[in-house]
Structure formats: structure tokens, C-alpha cells
């Protein structure tokens, strides 16, 4: 039986190329658990060829004037926006996210970052500095690209993450070999073709497919200058160790167990809406999710009552239905993992199951029953020592923890090895700033949750990452600085002179 999409090959040196490994895997529609396409796996020889193509292209692209680079990237952003719905439909089938999300977020925010960095370099953002050191001496700096870089994508926001990595990489004058997640690989070839159509020279952006072994070969390759990885903490630590061992630059955007603190004066509906966005958007498959919701003890009854009422607005169903806002989990292996956490929370942690639990969402159509669907789940009366509270689940599982004082909530919120995101809901702006200042996380929000615009540098503290993505700060980790001191005095100061 023919699959919905043709076989995906590799893309390097400006064109689609067959893999030489002779091996393939299938990408699966998580809503129905049916295959979408065969994906060819890159061999080591294929990866070498892609890296060599990127290396050849670097000598040209790195010397391309900023304004010329900017025009190509701006054209690519325009093409992405023109094909938004077409790309979003593929993202929905590949990732399991509702079309109401992929069509309004995934492609749009990726194109925003591409346009942001195009405008940044076109407007002189990579210009160096000049300093008059003294009357007859001055210092100037230059920002130079690194070389061939590797981007390893994640499965939860496939094309958005590919653009977050490639936009800044290419804007800085580097070239990239990109590996999509093996769970959501369909976007890779599409993005490469759009870059080529926009005028990107052959070899500047390349795509290879495969699982962890392909990623490991990429990150340890001697011709690679930098690795940018998005994924779970344990894998990121291995990738960072491999890259750092050969003095490669790294950017790591890893997982979290983020706290959301609801202060006693918070507006109830806003607090509940924030908690739901921080747990159930993208079916909870967001690294910054605020899965530890700290609620004042005296707000227990009204908070839980309003939360239960609003859970009725989480609508699982056909992914292209305008009413659907909740999809399946991304893969069978992840589905089993999340179910095990829900089972553990109920049977071992003995948390109170307020809503959801094991089983499929109610009223799920028959043709979706085989998919990787779970219920939006809420545990309450949780304690800090529970496994569901300590470990990243990466699914729609909220843990509510009650506290007596805000200082106590902050202390408990910081009691984790991770520090990706955090947030606070309060009407008191002074309190908001005080609490945010104390929270040990790299991304923080006040009276909102989840938005990461192109202008906002984002990255984790502790084990949640290294470096930042987006914003002016994001490009600094894709360039290296060269400082030059020029002496115009006509003489060389020396201590080796005749006495």
C-alpha cells in the first residue's frame, strides 16, 4: 500500500540525494498510529559528504556581505509564510499537533526568527567596535563565523526549532548540517528546498536523517565547529560532553521541571488559564512547561473548582477540526512513558487524581482510537518528593502543590537540578519582580506563560542548558571575536634597550 508521502532522502550540496546505507525507517502519524513515509538513513559516508559540502560552501558564504545574506534569508521567510498552511498540514500529520496550533505558531514563529536575524545583520548587528586607546593607537574588533555547524532538532516543534537553529547560524555566516528528530523528519527536506529556492548557495544548509547514532557521528566529527542541540537533559549532557571533548562550541536547550507560582492576590481565572497553558498546550510536550503549580493553601477549593470547569475546554479530536486544541503524544515510546508516569503518580506516589488518568480522552472518534492519545491529567495534594513532581514527564500531567508563604514557594520552586523556566501570577508588580529575581531559571514570565518571541533570548540555567537562543544575545554563540590593536606611533616600546 502506498504511503501518504514519498520516501524522504537526504539533502546536501544543493539537491536531494539518496542515502547509501540501504536502511530506512518509517515516520508515524501519532493520531492514528499509521505510517506516513519511509525515511532513508544516512551512512557515515553520506554524513562525510554533507559535511564536506558545508565546508566548501563556508568559504563562499562566510565572505558574502551581510546585506546579501539578509536578502536571501528574508526571501526564505517570505516563502515560508506563503506556504504556511501547506507546511503546517505536514507538521500536524508528523507531530500530532492540532492544525489550529501548527498553522498559527510553528511556521509563523520560525519565520519570525529568520526575518529577525536577517534584519539584524542587514542593519549592522554584526559590526565590530572601534576604540581610541590613546592618541597614536586604536583597537578594532571583528566578529567572524565559526565554520561548519551541526543542528540537532527535536520532535515537539520540528520546523520551528530547525529555523531557530539555522536562521542564526546562517545569518552569522556559518554553514549547517541539520539532523531532524527521527520521530518528526518530514520538514527537513522542505526547509532545505525553500532555502535553495530563496537563493542560498549549495552546501550552506544540508539535511541528514537518522537516529542517535547519526547524531553521535555528527557531534564527534572533526570538521564540525559547533553543535546546537535541543532535547532531554540526559541526551544533551552526552552530546555536550562529546562536543566539548574536541573543543567544539555548543548550545544546549534541554529539559525542565518548571515552577509556576500563583500568589494569594492572583486573579483566579488568569491563574487557571496560565496553569492550563503551561501544562496542556502542545499536549504538554513543551520543554518550558510549568508542571509544578504552586497554589496558596487557602485557594485550594476555588482553584481546583475553576480548573475542573475549564478542563471541559480541552478538546481532543480530529486534528484538522477547527474545534480541536489537544492532540496525541508524538510517538508510541513516548506514549508508554507518559502513561507509566500517570500510573506511578496514582499507585506509588499516591497523589490525589483530580482529573484525567489512564485511558483515552472521552468522545474520541473510532478512527483515532489506535493513536497515542492520553487524557489531560491533574494530580493535586502533591509533595516535593514525589517522582511525578521531580522528573520531567513531557506530557499533559499537572502537579498542584500547596504552600503557606510565598517565600516557602520560592524555596521549593528552586529545589531542582533544572532551571529552564519559571513564572508568577500576581497583581502586585513589586512582588512579581522580587519573586522573579529569586527564581533560578533562565526564562521567566509574569502573568503569562509560554510566549518566546524572536526578540527574547531564551536558555536554561543549571542542567537545563548552555547558552541562549534568539535575541541579540543569541547570535554571539555563533561567532568568534577577533581583536586587533594598531599602533601608529612609528616606534616599538621595548624593555630590551641599551642602558
Residues with catalytic annotation? 253
Q: How far apart are CA 166 and CA 169, in angstroms?
A: 5
Burial category of 34 from C-beta neighbours within 10 Å (exposed 0-12, middle 13-18, buried 19 and up): middle
Q: Smallest Cα–Cα separation from 314: which of 263, 259, 373, 271?
A: 373
C-alpha cell at 451: 510566549
Helices and strands (H and E) in the chain: how many: 16, 22
Report CA 436 to chain centroid distance, whole Å. Answer: 22
Q: Which of 397, 381, 183, 374 is nearest to 280 (CA)?
A: 397
- What DSSP assignment string belongs to 277-299? HHHHGGGG--TT---EEEEEGGG
Task: Give the C-alpha separation, 116 to 107, whole Å.
Answer: 14
Cell 543542528 belongs to residue: 151
**Which of 216, 220, 195 lies closest to 207 in space, CA to CA?**
195
Please tell me the distance from the alpha carbon of residue 431 to that of residue 427, in angstroms, as a whole number: 8
**What is the Cα–Cα distance from 13 to 51, expressed in whole angstroms?**
9
CB 410 within 8 A of CB 439: yes
Sheet of strand 137-145: strand arrangement: 130-134, 137-145, 479-487
Continuous segment of H or E residues that includes residue 236:
helix 233-244
Residue closest to 421 by CA, chosen among 239, 234, 261? 261
CA dist list (Å): 2 to 35, 36, 37, 93: 10, 9, 9, 16
Length of the chain: 499
Instruction: Quote the radius of gyration of the chain (alpha carbons, Å).
Output: 24
- Report the largest interatomic distance among the alpha carbons of the chain, rounded to a whole angstrom: 97
Q: Which residues contact 430 (CB under 8 A, 6 or more apart)?
A: none
3-state secondary structure of 135: coil
Question: Contact 162/11 with Cβ under 8 angstroms?
Answer: no
Amino acid at each position: 500500500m502506498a504511503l501518504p508521502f514519498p520516501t524522504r532522502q537526504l539533502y546536501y550540496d544543493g539537491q536531494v540525494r539518496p542515502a547509501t546505507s540501504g536502511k530506512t525507517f518509517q515516520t508515524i502519524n501519532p493520531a492514528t498510529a499509521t505510517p506516513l513515509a519511509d525515511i532513508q538513513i544516512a551512512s557515515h559516508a553520506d554524513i562525510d559528504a554533507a559535511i564536506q559540502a558545508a565546508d566548501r560552501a563556508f568559504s563562499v558564504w562566510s565572505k558574502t556581505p551581510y546585506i546579501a545574506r539578509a536578502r536571501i534569508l528574508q526571501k526564505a521567510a517570505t516563502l515560508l509564510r506563503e506556504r504556511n498552511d501547506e507546511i503546517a498540514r505536514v507538521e500536524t500529520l508528523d507531530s500530532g499537533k492540532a492544525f489550529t496550533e501548527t498553522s498559527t505558531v510553528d511556521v509563523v514563529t520560525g519565520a519570525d526568527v529568520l526575518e529577525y536575524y536577517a534584519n539584524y545583520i542587514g542593519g549592522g548587528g554584526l559590526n565590530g567596535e572601534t576604540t581610541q586607546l590613546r592618541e597614536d593607537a586604536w583597537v578594532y574588533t571583528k566578529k567572524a563565523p565559526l565554520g561548519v555547524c551541526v543542528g540537532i532538532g527535536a520532535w515537539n516543534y520540528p520546523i520551528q526549532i530547525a529555523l531557530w537553529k539555522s536562521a542564526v547560524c546562517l545569518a552569522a555566516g556559518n554553514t549547517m548540517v541539520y539532523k531532524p528528530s527521527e520521530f518528526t523528519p518530514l520538514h527537513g527536506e522542505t526547509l532545505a528546498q525553500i532555502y535553495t529556492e530563496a537563493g542560498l548557495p549549495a552546501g550552506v544548509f544540508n539535511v541528514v536523517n537518522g537516529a542517535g547514532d547519526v547524531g553521535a557521528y555528527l557531534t564527534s566529527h572533526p570538521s564540525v565547529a559547533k553543535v546546537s542541540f535541543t532535547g532531554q537533559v540526559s541526551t544533551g549532557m552526552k552530546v555536550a560532553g562529546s562536543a566539548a571533548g574536541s573543543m567544539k562550541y555548543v548550545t544546549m536547550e534541554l529539559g525542565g521541571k518548571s515552577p509556576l507560582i500563583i500568589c494569594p492576590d492572583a486573579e483566579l481565572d488568569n491563574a487557571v488559564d496560565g496553569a492550563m497553558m503551561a501544562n496542556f498546550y502542545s499536549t504538554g510536550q513543551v520543554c518550558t512547561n510549568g508542571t509544578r503549580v504552586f497554589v496558596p493553601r487557602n485557594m485550594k477549593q476555588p482553584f481546583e473548582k475553576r480548573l475542573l470547569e475549564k478542563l471541559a475546554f480541552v478538546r481532543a479530536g480530529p486534528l484538522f477540526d477547527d474545534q480541536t486544541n489537544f492532540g496525541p503524544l508524538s510517538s508510541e515510546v513516548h506514549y508508554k512513558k507518559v502513561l507509566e508516569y500517570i500510573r506511578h503518580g496514582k499507585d506509588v506516589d499516591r497523589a490525589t487524581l483530580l482529573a484525567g488518568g489512564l485511558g483515552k480522552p472521552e468522545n474520541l472518534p473510532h478512527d483515532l482510537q489506535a493513536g497515542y492519545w492520553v487524557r489531560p491529567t491533574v494530580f493535586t495534594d502533591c509533595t516535593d518528593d514525589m517522582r511525578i513532581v521531580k522528573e520531567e514527564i513531557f506530557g499533559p500531567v499537572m502537579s498542584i502543590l500547596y504552600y503557606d508563604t510565598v517565600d516557602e514557594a520560592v524555596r521549593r520552586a528552586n529545589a531542582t537540578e533544572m532551571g529552564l523556566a519559571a513564572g508568577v501570577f500576581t497583581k502586585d508588580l513589586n512582588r512579581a519582580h522580587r519573586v522573579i529575581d529569586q527564581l533560578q531559571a533562565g526564562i521567566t514570565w509574569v502573568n503569562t506563560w509560554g510566549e518566546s518571541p524572536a526578540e527574547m533570548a531564551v536558555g536554561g540555567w543549571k542542567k537545563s542548558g548552555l547558552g541562549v537562543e534568539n535575541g541579540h544575545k543569541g547570535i554571539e554563540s555563533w561567532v568568534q571575536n577577533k581583536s586587533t590593536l594598531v599602533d601608529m606611533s612609528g616606534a616599538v616600546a621595548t624593555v630590551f634597550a641599551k642602558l
